[in-house]
């Protein structure tokens, strides 16, 4: 696996980047891979909350950079998945506390002992974004099916190109088939037409996702979660498996079926 270090990013905040990071990291750890998830959103950390590890943090990434502890000492072991570890962001510093060369050094140290390293990038396209992307072998852009999110994702693609990174992969998050059918939301083809990226995953809206996040339990832990299934599929595609995309069609309601049966218009 050449692409061990994966940065998950977006132009716009609030698209579910940390949730995607937590879920893919957990899914790969559940398969037996050793995984580190790095929260690079300095000053605004929340990857620890999504993983339910907020009360177990002693050291953070800035402690590592300042030489207080080595990277391994700062890692927080996941409480559900034995192969998953979190390197938390510092909550009381700003993004300038971590330089690109600092993160490269940490990643190179961790690369020796882990199968995958995920970097949860801060939102936006400023200094923190460039720091998060610099060590990455692969960049995954998360976008919602709305024009503001897609426009910002397109800017991220341009910046990755300027940084001489390989073209990012795309995850479309929180797509709602009912809204797509009503014309209230862009569909997958619309998004791909604008961004022209390789599609890594389409994650449907899941009514239980807020509850999972509030409990610090990634959706991939729940077989009944439709978003969890989609994110487990993303993990398989990262491993190089050919996994078909889920059908996200809206099922016909009772009255629509009656209309067809009786030929009503």
Residues annotated within the binding site for ATP are 12-19
Residues annotated within the binding site are 12-19
Question: From CA 100, how far away is CA 96, in angstroms rounded?
Answer: 10
DSSP secondary structure string for all residues of 235-260: HHHHTT---PPPP-PPPPPHHHHHHH
- At a CB cut-off of 8 Å and minimum separation 6, what does 59 contact? 68, 69, 73, 74, 88
Q: Using the structure block, give the residue that is written with the tokens 């750890």.
A: 29
Residues of 243-265 as b/e, b for ≥16 C-beta within 10 angstroms? Answer: eeeeebeeeeeeeeeeeeeeeee
Q: Using the structure block, give the residue that is written with the tokens 């209309």.
A: 259
> What sections of the chain are H helices per DSSP?
17-30, 47-50, 61-65, 71-74, 100-111, 127-133, 147-162, 177-182, 188-195, 209-215, 226-238, 254-262
CA 26 vs CA 208, 220, 231: distances in Å: 18, 7, 10
């Amino acid at each position: 696996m050449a692409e061990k270090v994966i940065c998950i990013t977006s132009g716009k905040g609030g698209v579910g980047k940390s949730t995607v990071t937590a879920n893919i990291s957990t899914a790969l750890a559940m398969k037996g891979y050793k995984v580190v998830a790095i929260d690079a959103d300095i000053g605004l950390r929340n990857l620890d909350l999504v993983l339910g590890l907020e009360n177990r943090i002693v050291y953070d990434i800035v402690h590592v950079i300042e030489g207080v502890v080595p990277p391994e000492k700062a890692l927080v072991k996941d409480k559900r998945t034995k192969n998953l570890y979190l390197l938390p962001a510092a909550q009381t510093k700003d993004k300038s506390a971590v330089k690109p060369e600092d993160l490269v050094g940490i990643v190179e140290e961790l690369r020796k002992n882990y199968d995958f390293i995920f970097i949860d990038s801060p939102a936006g396209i400023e200094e923190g974004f460039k720091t998060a992307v610099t060590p990455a072998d692969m960049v995954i852009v998360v976008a919602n099916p709305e024009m503001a999110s897609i426009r910002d994702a397109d800017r991220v693609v341009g910046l990755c190109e300027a940084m001489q990174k390989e073209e990012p992969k795309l995850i479309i998050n929180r797509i709602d088939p009912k809204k797509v059918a009503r014309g209230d939301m862009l569909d997958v083809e619309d998004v791909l037409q604008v961004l022209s990226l390789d599609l890594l995953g389409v994650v449907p809206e899941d009514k239980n996702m807020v509850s999972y996040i509030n409990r610090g339990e990634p959706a991939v832990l729940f077989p009944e979660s439709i978003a969890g299934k989609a994110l487990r599929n993303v993990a398989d595609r990262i491993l190089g498996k050919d996994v078909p995309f889920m059908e996200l069609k809206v099922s016909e309601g009772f009255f629509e079926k009656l209309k067809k049966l009786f030929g009503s218009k």
